[in-house]
Amino acid sequence: GFTLIPFAQTAVAIAVYILITNFGMSLFRSPTVAWLGDLYPPQQRSKANGIINLMGGVGGLLAFFGGGYLFDAVGRSAPFIGGAILLIAAALTAVFGVKEPHEIMLEEKPEQAGVLANLKTVFANQDKSGLYVLFGILFWFMAFNAVEAGLSSFAVFTLGISAGQASIYAGAVTITFILFALPAGLLGTKYGRRQIILIGL
């Protein structure tokens, strides 16, 4: 789906290709991130999340900078083809290069449940902390993606720069992820995740 985005002729086609891409990414990204967290004891989860966010920020920075360069130097389809190749390489690395410890698999098996069952548990639980976290993540990504898209549009249509340069400028946003990912994890471990989240908001 990702490689078809630059060839789409309608907004509906673009939306369909993006949905296919996001669905495919969620199939391997979400379990990978969850598994990384399970490798660490609960008291070190904040540090683990900091490392995950750090790597995500580095990946986003490379995607913006590399994609912007390829867009201007090769053409609008080049960043999508290059990104698809990297996604395939990442999936193959996870499948053939990562060995999941047997004891973690044994611990998780009795507690496995479907997505709908987990959502029902979150909504039915008297403690609404999990529900609030889900809504917080939803609103955070909505806001960030809106700013990200608006920044690119502003750069192209108002400032008059190329789409490739706009991507490179948008990549500067991910620098904050890189700079604060590890400190946020360390502070969350020391002072509590909730307090650091509130300070960040």
For the residues 33-43, what does the mean pLDDT come to? 70
Tell me how crowded residue 185 is: count the other CB atoms within 10 A of its CB.
23
pLDDT digits (tens, 9 = 90+) for 133-182: 888 888 888 887 788 778 878 888 888 888 888 888 877 777 877 787 77
Structural domain boundaries in the chain: 2-200
Outline where 39-162 has alpha helix (H).
Answer: 45-73, 78-97, 102-108, 115-124, 129-157
Q: Give the pLDDT of residue 101.
A: 60
Q: Give the pLDDT of residue 64.
A: 84
pLDDT digits (tens, 9 = 90+) for 16-29: 988 888 888 777 77
Q: Give the pLDDT of residue 106.
A: 47
pLDDT digits (tens, 9 = 90+) for 48-106: 777 777 787 788 888 888 888 888 888 888 888 888 888 888 878 877 877 766 555 44
Residue 61: left (phi > 0), alpha (psi -120 to 50), or beta?
Answer: alpha
